[in-house]
Amino acid sequence: MRQGLAPRLVLLVYLLLLMLPIYWLVNMSLRTNSEIMSGLVLWPHHPTLAKYRAIFNDPSWVHAFGVSLTYVAINTVISVAVALPAAYAFNRYRFIGDKHLFFWLLTNLMAPAAVFAMPFFQLYYAVGLFDTVWAVALAHCLFNVPLAVWILEGFVGGVPREIDETAAIDGYSFPRFFIRIFLPLIANGVGVTAFFCFMFSWVEELLATTLTSSNALPFAAVMTRSYSASGMDWALLASAGVLTMIPGAVVIWFVRNHIAKGFALGRV
């Protein structure tokens, strides 16, 4: 009994420590700035939703939230759509320079986003994409497409080649085989890949703020308005932080089954 109790206690303490920052963020969002600065309070004695109402009643906050969701969704769709055939080709075919090309894709993940900020800025400004959701969505593809290819290639490798050959013998065209037969077999991998692409694009701020100014300003950039000469609006910043966690939680809820199976298979 004691041997079974100790691991459970350790797991419980570990989970509590993981949830503590999230709880504290929610706690701060339900308090006033004077309460926050007054000292340590384990729970809000007079909870208020004033800061949440202030965010939803401010068009700039609502617009920035919609913009962030838009470019993240565009990037996720593009990354997965491009990575699927690429991962299939890398796994099923052999061609000159395939391993070098695959390694080159992964090297894009080794450089920080700041390295690409100015090249992207000049390029998008010249072609008229600056300050649009497409600028951020396409810039994030530089990191998400290699990541998606790397993850999906592992799942593609888990599907026997005999299935491809059997479908060809049965008269399936490649597009029909790929959509009707192959995609359902790697649905868990697609779900895991979409999750990682969504998360990276949602939390990335440097490129998103560099490539936008007003029309496509992301939610994270608008959060800087909580800083002013008079000080920091802690409650407003905490409320905005809580709202930024909601899309990720929703995505996790919808792809939770794929994630659970995907972490046991493929590359993740």
What confidence tens digit (pLDDT) does each residue in 213-229 have? Answer: 888 888 888 887 766 65
Would you state the pLDDT for residue 140? 94
Q: End-to-end alpha-carbon separation of the chain, Å? A: 34
Indicate if 150 and 244 belong to the same structural domain. yes
Our count of domains for the chain comes to: 2
Range(s) of the domain holding residue 3: 1-48
Instruction: Tell me: pLDDT of 158 over 80.
Output: yes
Residues 147-155 have a mean pLDDT of 90
Indicate if 26 and 111 belong to the same structural domain. no
Indicate if 38 and 88 belong to the same structural domain. no
Residue 265 pLDDT level (bands cut at 50, 70, 90): low
What confidence tens digit (pLDDT) does each residue in 63-79 have? Answer: 999 999 999 999 999 99
What's the Cα-to-Cα distance from 224 to each of 48, 50, 65, 103, rounded to whole Å? 22, 19, 14, 38
Burial class (CB in 10 A: 0-12, 13-18, 19+), 84: buried
Indicate if 25 and 126 belong to the same structural domain. no
Q: What is the CATH number of the domain that holds 160?
A: 1.10.3720.10
Task: With beta carbons less than 8 A apart as the criterion, state whether 59 and 214 touch.
Answer: no
Its pTM stands at: 0.84
Residue 267 lies in a domain: no
Indicate if 242 and 182 belong to the same structural domain. yes
Would you state the pLDDT for residue 189? 87
* Three-state secondary structure readout of 123-175: HHHHHCCCCCHHHHHHHHHHHHHHHHHHHHHHHHHCCCHHHHHHHHHCCCCHH
Question: How many Å apart are CA 239 and CA 55, to the nearest integer?
Answer: 8
Rounded to an integer, what is the distance from CA 51 to the centroid of its chain?
A: 26
Indicate if 148 and 107 belong to the same structural domain. yes
Residues 134-144 have a mean pLDDT of 93
Task: With beta carbons less than 8 A apart as the criterion, state whether 208 and 143 touch.
Answer: no
Would you state the pLDDT for residue 188? 84
Indicate if 38 and 81 belong to the same structural domain. no
What confidence tens digit (pLDDT) does each residue in 231-244 have? Answer: 678 888 888 889 88
Residue 97 lies in a domain: yes
Residue 11 lies in a domain: yes
Residue 129 lies in a domain: yes
Instruction: Tell me: pLDDT of 267 over 60.
Output: no
Indicate if 118 and 242 belong to the same structural domain. yes
Residue 32 pLDDT level (bands cut at 50, 70, 90): confident
